[in-house]
Structure 1
């Protein structure tokens, strides 16, 4: 994979470096300024990850920050023939990812802050945000969701299926159905089924959100943007959520056998929270199959959230409003990919796959342009729609997944003032980013001040030649869970 860097320009190489650790080589994509801010802990964690046998490649994106067992912002790769799976290099929220729907509306139609507040109230009605909220989809069979993904939904929840020429629900996604051995579902306790069923179509808390944004096209990639159906001032909706209670249950019940194998075989690293097992072993394969069920749940959960948002928009603006799927993708998962003709097992934890035009893994609608890579900012800051470049092959086509935390949640609560938070949202002005929460104090750990500067993150990705900006998306209103 170093062949790309032998040909890279000096400007691109300035955003990339290798770090020789005792256990192996770490590739870091970041500007000098971002790299200088990385704590020693991220390198300690990388070294632990590289102690897993047969690791072929490991890298950090510029939004990297410390996580449990593995940093968020990690790409880790094994040859499929001698691969390992690590639940710790996937993350607790399996299948967590992004979805964007585009409307036929212009931001001027949301210019009145009272209209944005009305829309937030409607969205909160259809997309439950509390941690233990019950969704509105009791008529959906959970086993169909887990085994069939989007194809397991009743037709009424896929409204564009009735207009085949406009259908985007199945085609404009990274994967609409993950195949696996469904017999592993018998291992999951009844309580997990019940709780996961209740949570279908719900937001969750933490950094999850549903945000209404306005598009500003990047002139350098206007042709790509217009091919995607984007226009300046267009209103879009960006969603961020994952596999909710089902993913949590998979981590609780699906990793026990892996931990047992590690103890019995004497395998491990200095970090007891870093779990792994070889592909082909029963413990590893059971986890992988359960993981795929959680990926199915995650993409359906985001789809149902978008269905709820569509209903909210129609309540406020009428039935002529369209919400077409632009794309849905994951940033916490592992699966097999082919690189340079070889089967590789690729983990991404807080990392987004971003393919260039004509890459064979692109969905058919995006073969000529490359698919949209959906990169959120933080509350009050811009998000980005990007497209992969050929140079991304050097990093297995992985880029950032967002701004990346600069402060822990506890530190943010101590160091960020309500006045600072309110100012960043423009509270009290006509440009206010409307938030559904009555008190900013309840979500201050999600303030822009808790995150890195997303513009610096994007600058590093573009500077390294991994991807380009297609559009900047400015926030108008944000739905958050407390």
Structure 2
């Protein structure tokens, strides 16, 4: 019996396109479709879809793509998420698996990373010499050159070229809306990880044989040690969401806008509240990409301490999965929202960064803690879904439920504690991060299988976890 990976679900307010295999689709909670029905009530919407990792969020499900025409479109903070610009970054090292086989060495590496990368939420980052106004207005281009390790070789400066976007342009006047305390807190958090599902993971690459040509063109090899980073815009993005959400709610009430869900916020793109949010959104995207870059800088310094001065860590790619921006599709301008969804462009798509025009760019999909992550590339069939794929495994249990029903023994077993294959973590007690155990998430292999089965993307490499640094 052939499996189905795509369905158009008709709801009272419109259609939602669902990309998920049979078993994943059957497990979807009715609330997922209730939320979709509310989202589809936002005026002038031209398309909405769910990726296979979809699960209930605030106002909008995580795993949502929603699209409007730019000329009469709407913008919704709820279909971006509170952690604006949250996304993934992968760096390739010049190390082979043999270099990190020893569990004790992995523990030393994790300790070294903690030396350079604050993991306690209240701890100040190590980048007080960076001007925050430069970061939020210029993105990566607002960082001093000393933090761009390959800046001295402009033709090989992967730090600025191998990213989805290195800078978002905005009306800087909106930055005056924020009080000094927001600037102070956001500056302190620059170059920090944050808690929850954010992480730095040391991984080992296994190339997918059918995609070996692309993998090698990207600089991947079997057994290669890679660094995967998951983080976002920290206090700056949170402040944007809180400030704009409050004002947008008042505007909606005054204008008689809304749905059955009071948490679903939206405004016309042309409205002053819509424009204010878009500009502040772009400032948070600038912060997010710079934040992940600085986290990678910290990991690079730790790597040199452990492996010596010849240790290298080259940017493979940086992308976001919580954002909204303007895109062109078949000659028409659209305003595309992604909440927990990743853009995956195929070869020869003009929106690929220049180094990836001929192959398509790497699409970075993390697994759950202790399970594999994936590096993918977009397929031409992705155009049907505005080139949008999953962003991870997707939760099946809340944090509180996970803490209640998953035992430490089950979590330890998933991390292979006590074996040579142990996924070494930085937390002294696994109990403090049990809500991030693999048992809290869907099976990432099923998620990836749905994306491939639907013709949206292909697997280039599988990444096996060896060590993880989590925030507290």
Distance in 1, Cα, partners of 2:168 & 2:154: 23
Cα deviation, 1:75-125, whole Å, max 9, x if unaligned, reads: 000000110000000000000000000000001111110000000000111
> Out of 463, 468, 471, which is 1:478 matched to?
468
Q: Secondary structure at the match of 1:161?
A: coil
Distance in 2, Cα, partners of 1:340 & 1:15: 25
Distance in 2, Cα, partners of 1:263 & 1:316: 57
Which residue of structure 1 aligns with residue 220 of structure 2?
230
Distance in 1, Cα, partners of 2:191 & 2:210: 37
User: By how many angstroms is 1:164 displaced?
Assistant: 2.4
> Out of 102, 106, 110, which is 2:100 matched to?
110
Distance in 2, Cα, partners of 1:135 & 1:233: 32
Q: Secondary structure at the match of 1:474?
A: strand
> Out of 15, 29, 32, which is 1:25 matched to?
15
2:129 paired with 1:129: no
Within-5 A mapping of 1:186-205: 186-205=176-195
Distance in 2, Cα, partners of 1:278 & 1:216: 46
2:165 paired with 1:175: yes
Cα deviation, 1:300-335, whole Å, max 9, x if unaligned, reads: 000000000000000000010110000000000000
> Out of 314, 330, 337, which is 1:340 matched to?
330
> Out of 388, 391, 415, which is 1:425 matched to?
415
Distance in 2, Cα, partners of 1:146 & 1:254: 17
Distance in 2, Cα, partners of 1:267 & 1:166: 50
Distance in 2, Cα, partners of 1:20 & 1:127: 47
2:324 paired with 1:328: no
Distance in 1, Cα, partners of 2:222 & 2:156: 22
Cα deviation, 1:361-417, whole Å, max 9, x if unaligned, reads: 000000000000000001110000000000000000000000000100000000100
> Out of 377, 384, 388, which is 2:367 matched to?
377
Distance in 1, Cα, partners of 2:209 & 2:341: 26
Distance in 2, Cα, partners of 1:400 & 1:252: 26
Q: Secondary structure at the match of 1:91?
A: coil
User: By how many angstroms is 1:166 displaced?
Assistant: 2.4
Distance in 2, Cα, partners of 1:346 & 1:295: 15
Q: Secondary structure at the match of 1:402?
A: coil
Distance in 1, Cα, partners of 2:468 & 2:379: 31
Distance in 2, Cα, partners of 1:159 & 1:447: 34
User: By how many angstroms is 1:133 displaced?
Assistant: 1.9
Distance in 1, Cα, partners of 2:133 & 2:289: 14
Within-5 A mapping of 1:51-66: 51-66=41-56
User: By how many angstroms is 1:256 displaced?
Assistant: 2.5
Which residue of structure 2 aligns with residue 387 of structure 1?
377
User: By how many angstroms is 1:41 displaced?
Assistant: 0.2
2:272 paired with 1:282: yes
User: By how many angstroms is 1:239 displaced?
Assistant: 0.1
Within-5 A mapping of 1:258-277: 258-277=248-267
Q: CA RMSD in A?
A: 0.9
Which residue of structure 2 aligns with residue 5 of structure 1?
none
User: By how many angstroms is 1:481 displaced?
Assistant: 1.2
TM-score by length of 2: 0.99
Distance in 2, Cα, partners of 1:201 & 1:132: 13
User: By how many angstroms is 1:254 displaced?
Assistant: 2.0
2:84 paired with 1:94: yes
> Out of 442, 452, 461, which is 1:452 matched to?
442
Give ranges in structure 2 of 5+ residues lacking alignment. Answer: none
Distance in 1, Cα, partners of 2:50 & 2:155: 40
2:148 paired with 1:148: no
Q: Secondary structure at the match of 2:161?
A: coil
Which residue of structure 2 aligns with residue 7 of structure 1?
none
> Out of 124, 134, 138, which is 2:128 matched to?
138
User: By how many angstroms is 1:130 displaced?
Assistant: 1.3
Distance in 2, Cα, partners of 1:104 & 1:114: 20
2:300 paired with 1:300: no
Distance in 1, Cα, partners of 2:84 & 2:154: 31
> Out of 40, 56, 60, which is 1:70 matched to?
60
> Out of 351, 365, 384, which is 1:361 matched to?
351
Distance in 2, Cα, partners of 1:24 & 1:407: 28
> Out of 380, 400, 409, which is 1:410 matched to?
400
2:107 paired with 1:82: no
User: By how many angstroms is 1:289 displaced?
Assistant: 0.2
2:24 paired with 1:34: yes
How many residues of Structure 1 are paired with residues of Structure 2 in the alignment?
Answer: 472
Cα deviation, 1:407-431, whole Å, max 9, x if unaligned, reads: 0000000010000000010100111
Q: Secondary structure at the match of 1:232?
A: coil
Distance in 2, Cα, partners of 1:138 & 1:231: 37
